[in-house]
């Protein structure tokens, strides 16, 4: 157990990218890395909604996305791209957030179908989440219900281009504005909501700690004492489950 | 929470452990989860954990007009959406006293059987993938795509067609459609011997699926199993023959049965149903060449369309089993209550839980796929 309280550091003490990281050399390396990343996107194999029915045709012989370097991947730890294929019920969103936080950066989220944009067909359903980008930073949307495989292909190619040109940086927003995202999640799941992932520690690790990483919502983690062992964190989890 | 802060929990010593199977798992069909209790690699108990796909359809349908619900119903079951439209439309017709023109009935049968074909081809691919036969998955998906192209030609959409409306169908066949559909049917029929070589007669499948997930007829009836899963236990129960709707009484087809009741028998039943569907489709195509007429009965202004009060219960034989809608109308512009009896709920919850006990963990996915459960329809 680390002896420092991770969430209590004042923001001004956090490490900022040093001169070397911001140098031309660093940026060149990042540029080359982005070029390679765009060409080997592993898509997390998680079928969250109806959109999953158009993925087998897209991935297999007929449209064959493997030729542009995309492949389904079973574990979030090795996946680069989280496809939210369609509507998200509240129960699924919880798993999706958990999964997203397990993925390693750089990671990308693609909203697939109208349901992730504005609720789509289920705009007045009591069970679904209407806007995905309230809870996770989204890089690309595919409109339609159901999007055609050609549209999926086009979106993937555009995402590749976006990654290649270094513009797909939305995943950093999750760390920079973690307080905002956690607030939205808490508004939906209750104030005690938290995930096992140490997002604040990761923000530090990626040098993405910003003034909005901590705030009133992350303070609730401390309020419910979720960071301290043996004092109800695990019990809260047990009850929740 | 920091990972280091998790508390170590002491549990009494046990040879059993619990394994979460899904929802993020390639062996699970759709967004669905199973909680398995295992001893070694044998399943001691299995608990289905649904609700990931719950959208509250029955409530949503109460809030929309009768005509708006046409767009909503196919989304209940994604791989096989047409029976949903048909069952809903027939319930509305029963309530509203609408007469469906003859040509529309044949067109409906056409899309119903095409949908059954796509669902079964998808099933071949899915079941093959769970026993490691990935080539077959590619074949099933790409052959299904040819039928989806036909759907696109006819209805303008690949997956959600919204083709069947209360009182008829949305549009007539485009020129040349019946010929191109016949070609695709010939192609699918020509593929079946290859599927036999690679899948149905494959020693991998035969040895893994025989005796896996076996149920007898009494069990199947007790658990509300319907459709091909019930026919695989030897009972020739098919709504298309026993309670014919549309023009099923006028076409010739056999009800395919097997007696073993295991995963292999269920696959063979579906293989036979593909042949029967092809038979039906050819007869329907012949009829469509000669039967003239309108494709829709006249409908009132859909925005002010009131259905007389009453209730209706309609049943359809979908590719998964017996699908039924119970609709109550209070005479207003929206349904008062809709209940969907989806076949997958019986298959994916109680039946799956019971069949998996004693099976090995690697067969759980196979049993689930062999039951051809459709999670969006379980959760609705």
- Find the residue in B nearest to A119 (Cα): B55
Residues 70-89 of B with CB under 8 A from A: 71-72, 75, 78-79
Average pLDDT over residues A80-89: 87
Pick the CATH number of A15-168 from 3.40.50.1820, 3.40.50.12280, 3.40.50.720, 2.30.40.10: 3.40.50.12280
* Residues on chain A touching B60 (C-beta within 8 angstroms): 122, 124-125
- Of the ranges A15-19, A142-146, B95-99, B191-195, which one carries the lowest mean pLDDT score? A15-19
- Of the ranges A93-97, A167-171, B42-46, B175-179, which one carries the lowest mean pLDDT score? A167-171
Q: How far apart are CA A216 and CA B59, in angstroms?
A: 36
Centre a 10 Å sphere on the Cβ of residue B310 and count the other Cβ atoms it contains.
Answer: 14
Given a contact cutoff of 8 angstroms between Cβ atoms, the answer to whether A114 and A101 are in contact is no
**Does A198 score more than 70 pLDDT?**
yes
CA distance A162 to chain B (A): 27
A117-123, Cβ contacts within 8 angstroms, sequence gap of 24 or more: A117/A141, A117/A143, A119/A87, A120/A87, A120/A145, A121/A87, A121/A145, A121/B71, A121/B72, A121/B75, A122/A87, A122/B55, A122/B56, A122/B60
Phi and psi angles of residue B324, each rounded to the nearest 5 degrees, phi first: -140, 150
Q: How far apart are CA A117 and CA A129, in angstroms?
A: 10
Q: What is the pLDDT of residue A6?
A: 53
Given a contact cutoff of 8 angstroms between Cβ atoms, the answer to whether A44 and B23 are in contact is no
Q: What is the pLDDT of residue A241?
A: 37
B153 inside domain: yes
Contact: A125, B24; criterion CB under 8 Å = no
Q: What is the pLDDT of residue B327?
A: 92
Interface check B55 vs A, CB under 8 A: yes
* Residues on chain B touching A196 (C-beta within 8 angstroms): 1, 3, 6
CA distance B17 to chain A (A): 17
**Does A5 score more than 70 pLDDT?**
no
Contact: A56, B141; criterion CB under 8 Å = yes
- Residues A105-152: tens digit of each pLDDT: 789 999 888 888 888 888 888 888 888 888 989 988 998 888 888 898
Contact: A126, B79; criterion CB under 8 Å = no
Q: What is the pLDDT of residue A229?
A: 45
- Name the residue among A45, A48, A89 with its Cβ closest to that of B26: A45
Q: What is the pLDDT of residue A234?
A: 41
Interface check B159 vs A, CB under 8 A: yes
Q: How far apart are CA B273 and CA A6, in angstroms?
A: 61
Contact: A89, B55; criterion CB under 8 Å = yes
Q: Which of B271, B314, B283, B287 is nearest to B116 (CA)?
A: B271
B316 inside domain: yes
B49 inside domain: no
Centre a 10 Å sphere on the Cβ of residue B84 and count the other Cβ atoms it contains.
Answer: 28
- Name the residue among A45, A46, A87 with its Cβ closest to that of B55: A87
B167 inside domain: yes
Q: Where are the alpha helices (H) located in A129-232, listed in sequence order?
A: 149-164, 170-176, 178-189, 199-205, 216-223
**Does A228 score more than 70 pLDDT?**
no
Q: What is the pLDDT of residue A220?
A: 77
Q: What is the pLDDT of residue B26?
A: 67
- Name the residue among B4, B142, B159 with its Cβ closest to that of A61: B142
Centre a 10 Å sphere on the Cβ of residue B296 and count the other Cβ atoms it contains.
Answer: 18
* Residues on chain B touching A7 (C-beta within 8 angstroms): none
Q: How far apart are CA B351 and CA B371, in angstroms?
A: 9
Choose, out of B3, B5, B62, B369, the residue to mutate when testing the contact with A (most A CBs < 10 Å).
Answer: B5
B80 inside domain: yes
Choose, out of A62, A67, A151, the residue to mutate when testing the contact with B (most B CBs < 10 Å).
Answer: A62
- The DSSP result for A78-144, as a single string, is G-SEEEEES-EEHHHHHHHHHHHHHSPSS-EEEEESTHHHH-GGGTT-SSEES-GGGTS--SEEE-S
pTM comes to 0.85
B164 inside domain: yes
Question: Tokens 């919880």 label which residue?
Answer: A94
Q: Which of B77, B92, B115 is nearest to B310 (CA)?
A: B92
- Find the residue in A nearest to B69 (Cα): A121
pLDDT band at B277 (very low <50, low <70, confident <90, very high): very high
**Does A223 score more than 70 pLDDT?**
no
Quote the domain boundaries for residue B255: 56-341+366-379
Q: Which of B295, B319, B335 is nearest to B95 (CA)?
A: B335
The DSSP bridge partners found for residue B165 are B168
What contacts B353, CB < 8 A, 6 or more positions away? B45, B46, B47, B48
Q: How far apart are CA A192 and CA A188, in angstroms?
A: 11
Domain spans in chain A, listed from the N-terminal domain onward = 15-168, 169-241
B62 inside domain: yes
Whole-Å CA distances, A146 to A50, A51, A93? 8, 6, 20
B114 inside domain: yes
CA distance B160 to chain A (A): 7
Q: What is the pLDDT of residue B184?
A: 93
Q: What is the pLDDT of residue B188?
A: 92
- Name the residue among A44, A99, A126 with its Cβ closest to that of B56: A126
Contact: B3, A226; criterion CB under 8 Å = no
- Residues B359-375: tens digit of each pLDDT: 888 888 889 888 888 88
Contact: A234, B9; criterion CB under 8 Å = yes
**Does A68 score more than 80 pLDDT?**
yes
A–B CB contacts, 8 A cutoff, strictly below: 124
Give yes or no for a cis peptide into B229 (omega within 30° of 0).
no
**H or E element that contains A59:** helix A55-59
A144, two tokens: 């339609």
What contacts B48, CB < 8 A, 6 or more positions away? B32, B33, B34, B35, B348, B349, B352, B353
CATH code of the domain in which B126 resides: 1.10.645.10
ipTM above 0.90, yes or no: no
Interface check B171 vs A, CB under 8 A: no
pLDDT band at B19 (very low <50, low <70, confident <90, very high): confident
pLDDT band at A211 (very low <50, low <70, confident <90, very high): confident
Q: What is the pLDDT of residue B120?
A: 92
Q: How many structural domains are present in chain B?
A: 1
Q: For chain B, what percent of residues have pLDDT higher than 90?
A: 31
What contacts B298, CB < 8 A, 6 or more positions away? B167
Q: Where are the alpha helices (H) located in chain B, listed in sequence order?
A: 57-62, 69-72, 82-96, 102-130, 134-155, 177-195, 203-209, 217-222, 228-231, 239-242, 263-290, 343-345, 352-356, 361-371, 375-379
């Amino acid at each position: 157990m680390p002896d420092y309280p991770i969430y209590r550091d004042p923001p001004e003490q956090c490490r900022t990218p040093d001169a070397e990281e911001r140098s031309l050399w660093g940026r060149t390396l990042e540029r080359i890395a982005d070029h390679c990343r765009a060409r080997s996107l592993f898509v997390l194999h998680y079928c969250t909604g109806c959109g999953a029915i158009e993925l087998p045709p897209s991935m297999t012989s007929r449209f064959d996305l493997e030729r542009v370097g995309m492949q389904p991947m079973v574990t979030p730890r090795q996946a680069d791209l989280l496809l939210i294929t369609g509507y998200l019920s509240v129960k699924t969103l919880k798993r999706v957030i958990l999964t997203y936080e397990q993925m390693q950066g750089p990671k990308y989220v693609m909203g697939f179908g109208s349901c992730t944009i504005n609720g789509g067909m289920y705009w007045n359903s009591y069970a679904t989440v209407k806007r995905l980008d309230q809870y996770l930073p989204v890089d690309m949307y595919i409109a339609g219900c159901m999007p055609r495989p050609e549209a999926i292909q086009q979106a993937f190619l555009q995402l590749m281009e976006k990654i290649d040109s270094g513009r797909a940086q939305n995943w950093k927003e999750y760390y920079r504005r973690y307080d905002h995202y956690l607030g939205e999640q808490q508004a939906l799941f209750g104030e005690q909501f938290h995930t096992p992932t140490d997002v604040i520690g990761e923000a530090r690790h990626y040098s993405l700690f910003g003034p909005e990483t901590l705030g009133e919502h992350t303070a609730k983690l401390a309020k419910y004492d979720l960071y301290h062992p043996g004092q109800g964190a695990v019990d809260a989890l047990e009850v929740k489950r | 929470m920091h990972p280091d802060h998790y508390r170590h929990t002491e549990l009494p010593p046990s040879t059993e452990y619990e394994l979460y199977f899904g929802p993020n798992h390639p062996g699970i069909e759709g967004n669905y989860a199973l909680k398995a209790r295992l001893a070694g690699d044998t399943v001691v108990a299995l608990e289905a954990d649904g609700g990931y796909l719950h959208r509250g359809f029955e409530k949503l349908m109460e809030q929309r007009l009768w005509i708006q619900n046409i767009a909503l119903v196919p989304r209940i079951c994604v791989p096989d959406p047409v029976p949903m439209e048909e069952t809903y439309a027939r319930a509305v017709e029963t309530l509203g006293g609408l007469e469906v023109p003859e040509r529309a009935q044949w067109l409906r049968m056409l899309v119903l059987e095409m949908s059954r074909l796509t669902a079964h081809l998808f099933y071949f691919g899915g079941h093959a993938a769970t026993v490691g036969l990935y080539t077959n998955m590619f074949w099933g998906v790409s052959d299904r795509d040819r039928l989806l192209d036909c759907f696109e030609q006819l209805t303008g959409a690949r997956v959600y067609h919204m083709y069947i409306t209360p009182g008829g169908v949305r549009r007539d066949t485009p020129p040349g459609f019946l010929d191109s559909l016949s070609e695709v049917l010939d192609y699918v029929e020509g593929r079946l011997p290859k599927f036999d070589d690679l899948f149905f007669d494959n020693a991998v499948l035969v040895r893994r699926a025989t005796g896996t997930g076996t149920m007898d007829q009494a069990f199947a009836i007790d658990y509300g199993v319907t459709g091909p899963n019930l026919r695989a236990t030897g009972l020739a129960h098919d709504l298309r023959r026993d309670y014919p709707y549309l023009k099923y009484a006028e076409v010739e087809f056999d009800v395919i049965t097997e007696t073993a009741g295991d995963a292999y028998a269920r696959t063979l039943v579906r293989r036979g149903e593909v042949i029967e569907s092809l038979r039906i489709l050819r007869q329907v195509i012949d009829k469509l060449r000669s039967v003239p007429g309108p494709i829709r009965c006249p409908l009132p202004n859909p925005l002010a369309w009131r259905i007389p009060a009453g209730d209706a219960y309609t049943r359809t034989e979908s590719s998964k089993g017996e699908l039924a809608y119970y609709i109550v109308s209070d005479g207003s512009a929206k349904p008062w209550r809709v209940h969907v009896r989806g076949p997958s709920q019986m298959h994916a919850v109680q039946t799956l839980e019971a069949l998996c006990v004693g099976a090995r963990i690697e067969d759980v996915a196979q049993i689930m796929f062999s039951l051809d459960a459709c999670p969006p329809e379980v959760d609705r």
